[in-house]
Amino acid sequence: MLAYLEQSVWRDLLEKQGNPMHGVQAGARVAFMAKEDLAGTEADMIVWENMTDDIGIAIGTQAFQGFHAGDADLMFVADAEVLLQICTATPVDPIKKLRQGIRHGTVLCYFLRPKRELLDMGYEEFVEALGLPLAGCL
């Protein structure tokens, strides 16, 4: 299995970092997928599911069923190497690495829900920490 698909790598990262989805409603889901896998028919993605503030984020893998399948609210697509850098960053700061990747064009962020819905779910602070506007884009 590729290192960026190992749930333990992401779990370790989030245990050190804390919950970057703090304030986002329980059940909210963010997915990460390698760009190289988008063309495949059997691609897997890492999914963060926000639980409650005292539990944090559940990490899982699931098959990618397409952008319209409703499996995530946001999806980050990057080269496998970039995903590995994000989940093994030192010092630990996945949001900073994602923000840098978005700024440099090595990470693509897809909003898979309407922006009003993302705002209602509490995503504003999370998305703006990535350097992307959300509230001003309605």
pLDDT in tens, 69-90: 778 999 999 988 888 888 876 7
Domain-embedded: residue 130: no
In this prediction the pTM is 0.87
CATH number at residue 93: 3.30.1050
Domain that holds residue 36: 3-122
Enumerate residue ranges in the chain where pLDDT < 50. none
Q: Number of structural domains, the chain?
A: 1
Kindly calculate the radius of gyration of the chain based on its CA atoms and give it in whole angstroms.
Answer: 14
Q: What is the pLDDT of residue 67?
A: 80
Whether 86 maps to a domain, the answer reads: yes
Q: What percent of the chain has pLDDT over 70?
A: 90
Q: Is residue 131 part of a domain?
A: no
What is the predicted pLDDT for the residue at 136?
Answer: 63
